[in-house]
């Protein structure tokens, strides 16, 4: 019995020491956002891009009319670009790799240019005026 009691006392002492140590010896847990976490602007950007992705998907899958698609896409592209630009003005470069940055630029350009065929969804090369997949005339510069 006394051995068990001693065991219990030891457990209690060890546990108490374990939880009091930070206060006694000044150990601190961080309370700030870590460097690689999303900031609010980044979160907004992400949401805008994801929404854009959904609209693209819905259009490709035939759930959206071309007219609605173009107007929604214009709205969302504007939102996404705004968020991207707001982000670029901030102190963000520390968390982006160069290649990531380059990809964003590419996406930005592609979003603006309207090289994607609204009829079949094919992504065309620069300078195209007609879709190489289905022959539809491309609406270059129609959105963004």
Footprint on this chain of other proteins (rule: CB under 8 A): 1, 4-5, 7-8, 11-12, 15-16, 18-23, 26-34, 36-38, 40, 42-43, 45-47, 49-65, 68, 72, 95-97, 100, 103-104, 106-107, 110-111, 113, 115-116, 121-124, 133
H/E segment holding residue 135: none
Q: How far is the CB of 96 from other proteins (least distance, A)?
A: 6
What's the min distance (Å) between Cβ of 86 and other proteins?
14
Q: For residue 8, give the 3-state DSSP assignment.
A: helix
Six token digits for residue 116: 């994607």
Whether 87 contacts 45, CB under 8 Å: yes
Report helix, strand or coil for 21: helix
Residue with tokens 């603006």: 112
Nearer to other proteins, 60 or 142 (CB): 60
CA 1 to chain centre: 60
Shortest reach from residue 76's CB to other proteins, in Å: 9
Q: By C-alpha distance, which of 41, 109, 111, 43 is closest to 75? A: 111
User: Smallest distance from the beta carbon of 15 to other proteins, in angstroms?
Assistant: 5
Residue closer to other proteins, measured from CB, 26 or 141: 26
């Amino acid at each position: 019995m006394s051995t068990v009691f001693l065991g219990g006392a030891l457990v209690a002492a060890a546990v108490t020491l374990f939880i009091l140590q930070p206060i006694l010896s000044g150990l601190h847990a961080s309370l700030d956002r870590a460097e690689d976490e999303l900031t609010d602007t980044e979160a907004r950007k992400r949401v805008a891009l994801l929404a854009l992705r959904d609209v693209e998907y819905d259009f490709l899958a035939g759930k959206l009319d071309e007219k609605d698609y173009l107007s929604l896409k214009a709205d969302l592209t504007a939102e996404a670009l705004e968020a991207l630009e707001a982000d670029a003005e901030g102190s963000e470069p520390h968390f982006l790799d160069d290649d990531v940055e380059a990809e964003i630029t590419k996406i930005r350009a592609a979003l603006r240019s309207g090289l994607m065929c609204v009829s079949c969804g094919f992504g065309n090369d620069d300078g195209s005026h007609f879709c190489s997949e289905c022959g539809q005339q491309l609406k270059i510069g129609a959105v963004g």
